[in-house]
Amino acid sequence: MARHQSLADAVAEHVHDGDTVALEGFTHLIPFAAGHEIIRQGRRALTLVRMTPDIVYDQLIGAGCARKLVFSWGGNPGVGSLHRFREAVQAGWPVPLEIEEHSHAGMAARYVAGASGLPFAVLRGYLGTDLMTVTDTIRTIECPFTGETLAAVPALNPDVAIIHAQQADRAGNVALWGITGVQKEAVLAAARSIVTVEEVVDELSTPYGAVVLPGWAVTAVAEVPGGAAPSYAAGYSVRDNDAYQRWDAISRDRSTFEQWLRETVHATEVIA
Amino acid sequence: MSAEPTWTADEMMTIEASRALHGVRSCFVGIGLPSTAANLARTTHAPDLVLVYESGCLGSKPDSLPLSIGDGVLAETATSVVSVPEIFSYWLQPGRIEVGFLGAAQIDRRGNINTTVIGPYDDPKVRLPGAGGAPEIAASCGEVIVVVRHSPRVFVDRVGFVTSVGFGDAPGDRQRYGLRGKGPQRIITDLGVLQPDESGEFILTAVHTGVSVDQVKAATGWELQVATDLHTTPAPSEQELTVLRHLETTKGQR
């Protein structure tokens, strides 16, 4: 059964140096507060997994937490480039970053395989692209029934998955709704999971389309209102598009980024 | 040309892209220019056009332009919101979506797209965002329309990295790779429109009002062939310009 913990305690207990960590949330419900806590606690040599690294991984990469990135689209949505990611790949700053690059469909299939207890997934994709030549975890397989050649990708099974949701109840059951991305699969694929939530309630409100993760499938729950900002939590907040646009200037050079780290991440204590 | 046009080249491109969705039922929409054009189409001539976003939104009807692919307005106005594994495996992969609308950092004479890297992969000159949903959109949509600004750096003879396959290296490559959609059928730029010939090479089939063929050739990194029946796209109508300019003011606002 999921334990209610503070975010600081949950990260300290469940996220270790060298772990493979997936913070998921497709534009919506991105667990920013948890990402900042990982930076504050100084985790190193992480393999970061995420379909869209978004500015949360730009921050973790710039802070030197990552050794490797497994991803499928590394931009600032609607704005442009992720400058910390780019500098790590192009110049190895602050530490060299190994990359393992997929498409969205491939990453989604990898999580599904991981959640399903399968060693790999099959999809129509990748064939004819150069992704196959640079990413060792993209291979082909012949369908045993039709003889068709299809793409095969290995399961993703992170050490820990971290997501943000709207609600949890006292027993640790978690509800999220709106754009729910690949979070259910990420949690079920991972050995451990941390869910930050907008609020802990006596009874979950589960609107149309809600995903409910039973408490016995989750490791830790931490109440962190606003924990997705500048991403958002439908029903609680809206996406702070201005912050995404401001990030472009902040992240463009090392000194403004480091100033941001000091003033925004290190100067802030965890709320819960 | 007697007078300066009252619209920008970008506006012309977006308007021509929206017109390309005439008679289309469903469209898988990338963010940026494609999303603007698709929403312009839905707001003007194609009110029933089904917009599909990779964040899992089916049938979004936003009244403001989203900044990201997962803005709340896309989910709130959707017929259905599904998970990301579902959008790719149940909706895109079987070929249910008629048109895929893509952008490009580089595109070559056979319509192959690069959004991954400029220069060597292991020592890149410019690291680009990467694939996202594009490879499978390019593989599985009924056909693909690319919207991109024209320049010799973008329109190259052969992309250095194929992120999404157009017509590969030679006729028959799409079939050989098992790609079931027809591939890119139109590249719409700020200068004109390119379409593939029978071999899969893109040729100039239309220029926008006030644009010369030489201008397009100069902005293309291969020896661009010109269709014998080259035509000029209609200038933007008042209605197209008014709606587009209003939409642009709503970007990222809600």
Give B158-208 pLDDT, tens digit per residue. Answer: 999 999 999 999 999 999 999 999 999 999 999 999 999 999 999 999 999
Return the pLDDT at A26: 96
- Kindly tell me if the per-residue pLDDT of A267 is higher than 90: no
Q: Which domains does chain B have, with CATH numbers?
A: 9-249 (3.40.1080.10)
Residues 135-194 of A with CB under 8 A from B: 148-150, 178-182, 184-185
For residue A108, give the nearest of B84, B121, B129 by CB distance.
Answer: B84
Give A134-173 pLDDT, tens digit per residue. Answer: 999 999 999 999 999 999 999 999 999 999 999 999 999 9
- Kindly tell me if the per-residue pLDDT of B226 is higher than 60: yes
Given CB atoms, is B105 within the 8 Å cutoff of chain A? no
Beta bridge mates, B127: B117
Distances in Å between the alpha carbon of A88 and those of A85, B116, B226?
Answer: 5, 15, 43
Residue A132 token pair = 């196959």
Residues 62-81 of B with CB under 8 A from A: 66-72, 74-76, 80-81
Q: What percent of chain A has pLDDT over 70?
A: 98
Residue B28 identity (one-letter amino acid): F
* Averaged pLDDT of chain B: 95
- Kindly tell me if the per-residue pLDDT of B31 is higher than 90: no
Distance from CA of A240 to the nearest CA of B (A): 9
d(CA B31, CA B44): 19
CATH tag for A3-102+157-266 (out of 3.60.21.10, 1.20.1250.10, 1.10.1040.10, 3.40.1080.10): 3.40.1080.10
Residue with tokens 């054009």: B37
Given CB atoms, is B161 within the 8 Å cutoff of chain A? yes
Which residue is closest to A182 within chain B, CA to CA?
Answer: B84
Number of cross-chain residue pairs from A and B with Cβ atoms under 8 Å apart = 177
Between A157 and A267, name the one with better pLDDT.
A157
Catalytic residue among B4, B11, B16, B54: B54
Say yes or no for a CB contact (<8 Å) between A125 and B136: yes
For residue A104, give the nearest of B68, B83, B88 by CB distance.
Answer: B88
- Kindly tell me if the per-residue pLDDT of A193 is higher than 50: yes
Residue B248 known to be catalytic: no
For residue A104, give the nearest of B121, B133, B173 by CB distance.
Answer: B133
Count the helix, strand and coil residues of chain A and give each as a percent rounded to the nearest 5. 30, 25, 45
Confidence of residue B2 (pLDDT cuts 50, 70, 90): low
Distance from CA of B98 to the nearest CA of A (A): 17
Continuous segment of H or E residues that includes residue A252 = helix A241-252
Return the pLDDT at A270: 53
Stretch B58-75: mean pLDDT = 90
Give B112-140 pLDDT, tens digit per residue. Answer: 999 999 999 999 999 999 999 999 999 99
- Kindly tell me if the per-residue pLDDT of A87 is higher than 90: yes
d(CA A234, CA A131): 34
Given CB atoms, is B39 within the 8 Å cutoff of chain A? no
Confidence of residue B70 (pLDDT cuts 50, 70, 90): confident
Beta bridge mates, A21: A48, A160
Q: What percent of chain A has pLDDT over 90?
A: 93
d(CA A31, CA A15): 14
d(CA B142, CA B31): 19
Dump the DSSP string for B58-124. Answer: ES---SS--SSTT-HHHHHT-SEE--HHHIIIIIITTT--SEEEE--SEEETT--EE-SEES-TTS-
ipTM score here? 0.95
Structural contact between residues B156 and B121, judged by C-beta atoms closer than 8 angstroms: no
Beta bridge mates, B194: B187, B204
Beta bridge mates, A20: A47
Stretch A83-108: mean pLDDT = 96
Residue A18 token pair = 């060298």
Structural contact between residues B128 and B121, judged by C-beta atoms closer than 8 angstroms: no
Say yes or no for a CB contact (<8 Å) between B89 and A180: no
The burial class, CB within 10 Å (0-12 / 13-18 / 19+), for A210 is middle
- Kindly tell me if the per-residue pLDDT of A272 is higher than 50: no
Return the pLDDT at B33: 87
Measured at the CA of B143, the angle between CA B137 and CA B146, to 5 degrees, comes to 75
For residue A209, give the nearest of B72, B74, B81 by CB distance.
Answer: B81
- Kindly tell me if the per-residue pLDDT of B210 is higher than 50: yes
Distances in Å between the alpha carbon of A178 and those of A156, A193, B195?
Answer: 24, 21, 39
Sequence spans of domains, chain A: 3-102+157-266
Residue B160 token pair = 């250095």
Judge if pTM exceeds 0.90: yes
* Averaged pLDDT of chain A: 96
Return the pLDDT at A222: 98
Say yes or no for a CB contact (<8 Å) between A180 and B57: no
Residue A133 token pair = 């030549």
Give A31-45 pLDDT, tens digit per residue. Answer: 999 999 999 999 999
